[in-house]
Amino acid sequence: LADIIGGGKTSLLYKNLVKNQKAVQAQAYQQNSELGGQLAMIALALPGKGLDSTEVIMRNTLKELEKTGISDEQVARYKASTEAQLINGLSSVSGKVSQLAANQTYFNNPNRLPIELKQLRSLTKADVQRVYDKYLRGKHAVILSVVPKGKTDEQAAKDNYTASAAGYKAPNYGYDGLKYVKATDSFDRSKQPKSGANPVVKVPAIWQDKFGNGLKVIGTKNTELPTTTMLLTIEGGHRLEQTNPGKAGVASLTAQMLNEGSEKYTGEQFSAALDRLGSTIQVFAGDDNTTVYVQSLTKNLPATLALLDQRLLHPRFDPADFDRLKKQTLQGIANQVTQPVVIANNAYAKLLYGQTDIMGVPNSGTTASVTSLTLDDVKQFYQQYYSPSVSN
């Protein structure tokens, strides 16, 4: 339910708030605790925009859901992407341990994953609709407005909640009268145990290749999980902006644009296609390179690679997407002045690299440099630096 309301580019909140540039960010999530749970909807409004209009849109979004109902397509996308997440969560030791421990703690069954998958696969739109009708439709909500200091007029509404003057009183947990009983054992902790034999690390076999277009490839095979992961690195990234510091941030903005639509798909259609496969294709720019991360269930790899071809070789470069992402980037830069850690890191980088090195400028650019960026700058950066000859 939370995913349909605000879980990415296919969600209602994205359509009603982010896509039409009425908010910088909007999302919804559902959180379970031992004694209860909550569904939260969060929106970061544009500067100077009152939160009253944002609240109206969020409430109207729920009314829209009531009118349209839950679709089979929405449920199918969620089931595919969530199943992939559950499987991918087993790719690390920590992921395995966390799942085993949680299931043992709460269900007394460490091997509960097959049950979870069975429940997920049996989920229907009627189940989701039932949950909405029972827990959200017509229910009260806590509304929190976070506004700049002194600008209470931007709140969604005046405060109507008064904290109890009595303060918090802890319940009786039954600890009174308990005494500490020290455990006894025969283990002598004054003696250091002898070390065993050194473990032998089994290094996986790797293979290497080089394509005719200059692309270098290295890989390995692991059959523990039915998944495939690819990492494509394109040399350069933020450092390429050294030739034109006035355009700092173009590498990051170019990567963001590639995460939008392609020639065949809008951004929302592309996101929906990935969700149906349970796959991930993400592009992001770092200091030294641009990285393309791909993760897919092996059975869906051919279809995922077809989408990768669209994202990497046939980007859409839609002017509306560029305008929205540019505004979001500028708002992110403006918000940095409220974050002491970011301020300190930026100041340190400037001292470390000096006034003329691009590494002294944030990866996202500055207000002046990002303001000057155009869609043609992004297209030129893509054409000039996205090449298989400098990729691995």
Domain range summary for the chain, segments of one domain joined by +: 2-154, 208-390
Name 342's Cβ contacts closer than 8 Å, sequence gap at least 6.
336
366 φ/ψ angles, rounded to the nearest 5 degrees: -115, 170
* Token pair listed for 29: 């999530």
Q: Which residues contact 258 (CB under 8 A, 6 or more apart)?
A: 283, 311, 312, 315, 382
Please determine whether the domains at 2-154 and 208-390 fall in the same fold group of CATH: yes
Report the chain's terminal Cα–Cα distance, integer Å.
39
Does pLDDT of 48 surpass 80? Answer: no
Question: Hey, how many other C-beta atoms are within 10 angstroms of the C-beta on 384?
Answer: 10
* pLDDT one-digit tens code per residue, 172-185: 888 888 999 988 88
pLDDT top residue among 32 and 283 = 283
pLDDT at 141: 93
Phi first, then psi: what are they for 359, rounded to 5°?
Answer: -70, -10
Residues 6+ apart with CB under 8 A from 124: 75
pLDDT band of residue 170 (cuts 50, 70, 90) is confident
Q: In this predicted structure, what is the pLDDT of residue 13?
A: 97
**Residue 284: strand, helix, or coil:** strand
Topology of domain 2-154, per CATH? Answer: Cytochrome Bc1 Complex; Chain A, domain 1 (3.30.830)
Q: How much is the pLDDT for 162?
A: 86
Token pair in block for residue 101:
């421990």
* Residue 62, both tokens: 């729920």
Strand positions, DSSP E, 189-325: 206-210, 216-220, 227-235, 280-285, 289-297
Output the pLDDT for position 338.
Answer: 86
pLDDT in tens, 75-91: 999 999 999 999 999 99
Residue 376: partners with Cβ closer than 8 Å, 6 or more residues away: none
Q: What contacts 25, CB < 8 A, 6 or more positions away? A: 18, 42, 43, 44, 328
Take residue 325 and report the two structure tokens written for it.
Answer: 């992402």
Question: Which range is most confident: 199-203, 258-262, 388-392?
Answer: 258-262
pLDDT computed for residue 164 by the predictor? 84
Does residue 337 surpass a pLDDT of 90? no
> For 210-247, what is each residue's pLDDT tens digit?
999 889 999 999 999 999 999 999 999 999 999 999 99
Confidence of residue 135 (pLDDT cuts 50, 70, 90): very high
Task: Give CA–CA dist 286/141, Å, rounded.
Answer: 40
Q: pLDDT-based confidence at 148, cuts 50/70/90?
A: confident
267, 272, 269, 262: which is closest to 308 by C-alpha? Answer: 262
Q: Which element (helix H / strand E) includes 234?
A: strand 227-235
What is the CATH T-level fold of the domain 208-390, as seen in this structure? Answer: Cytochrome Bc1 Complex; Chain A, domain 1 (3.30.830)
pLDDT for 36 equals 87
